[in-house]
Chain A
Amino acid sequence: GQNIDQPTEMTATEGAIVQINCTYQTSGFNGLFWYQQHAGEAPTFLSYNVLDGLEEKGRFSSFLSRSKGYSYLLLKELQMKDSASYLCAVRTLFSGGYNKLIFGAGTRLAVHP
């Protein structure tokens, strides 16, 4: 079966660093995406990892270890506007060669002054 786990909620202080973990158990792994979603809005694409290692994009970095079925999203220099849900999504490859995203339940991050 397919299973993606993330912490439900996290809190952090403005200016700090926070790491949001994601573990997954899926068949046909074909990449992992991180999205930010504010309530009632569309998910915003943050990062994509398919190979092991760290991808850095400004204040956001994402890490992947395929052997461990593990990823994390690192947010630096937190700002109040970073308060949102962060969704980990795994792309699975199906026999037809096409693929879909399976989302975790998301981690609600609250940034405090």
Chain B
Amino acid sequence: AAGVIQSPRHLIKEKRETATLKCYPIPRHDTVYWYQQGPGQDPQFLISFYEKMQSDKGSIPDRFSAQQFSDYHSELNMSSLELGDSALYFCASGGYNEQFFGPGTRLTVL
């Protein structure tokens, strides 16, 4: 069965650089979610999209933005990267009673 696809799987950036993470949800799922998970932490909700419209916003810094495109893939854009942005970034997609996570992008900021 198709799963959530994220790219890249690993990303290394310098401070103050910009990063773009991509997510391809499971076909026919109407909602995409982005989460950030720091070492030893639980996933923290960042932002979600329902049918290509932003549906909810969590603890997402102003330096981050995201959008969902006509083909339902989503991108998380992160600017002015800081050391504290180093984390696993998960995308999840789902319907009402399910939410499946992608494999994550491990971002390391040096």
Q: Secondary structure at chain B's binding surface: helix, strand, loop or mixed?
A: strand
Contact A42 B55 (CB under 8 A): no
A112 within 8 A of B: no
Contact B56 A101 (CB under 8 A): no
Q: Which candidate, A16-24, A44-52, A62-70, is the interface stretch facing chain B?
A: A44-52
Contact A44 B42 (CB under 8 A): no
Contact B42 A87 (CB under 8 A): yes
Contact A103 B43 (CB under 8 A): yes
**Chain B nearest CB, measured from A62 CB (Å):** 12
A-B contact count (CB 8 A): 51
B45, closest chain A residue (CB)? A100
Contact B99 A101 (CB under 8 A): yes
Contact A106 B56 (CB under 8 A): no
Q: By the criterion of a CB under 8 Å from any partner CB, how many residues of chain B are at the interface?
A: 22
Q: With A96-B56, A100-B33, A100-B56 known to touch, is A45 a contact of B42 (CB < 8 Å)?
A: no
Q: With A41-B103, A100-B33, A103-B43 known to touch, is A94 a contact of B56 (CB < 8 Å)?
A: yes
A53 within 8 A of B: no
**What residues of A have a CB within 8 angstroms of the CB of B97 in the complex?**
31, 48, 50
Contact B104 A42 (CB under 8 A): yes
**Chain A nearest CB, measured from B94 CB (Å):** 8
Q: With A42-B90, A43-B43 known to touch, is A33 a contact of B48 (CB < 8 Å)?
A: no
A54 within 8 A of B: no
- 29 A–B contact pairs at CB < 8 A? A33-B99, A35-B101, A40-B88, A41-B103, A41-B104, A42-B101, A42-B102, A42-B104, A43-B101, A44-B101, A45-B98, A45-B101, A48-B97, A48-B98, A87-B43, A96-B55, A98-B31, A98-B48, A98-B50, A98-B55, A98-B56, A99-B56, A100-B33, A100-B48, A101-B43, A101-B45, A103-B44, A104-B42, A105-B42
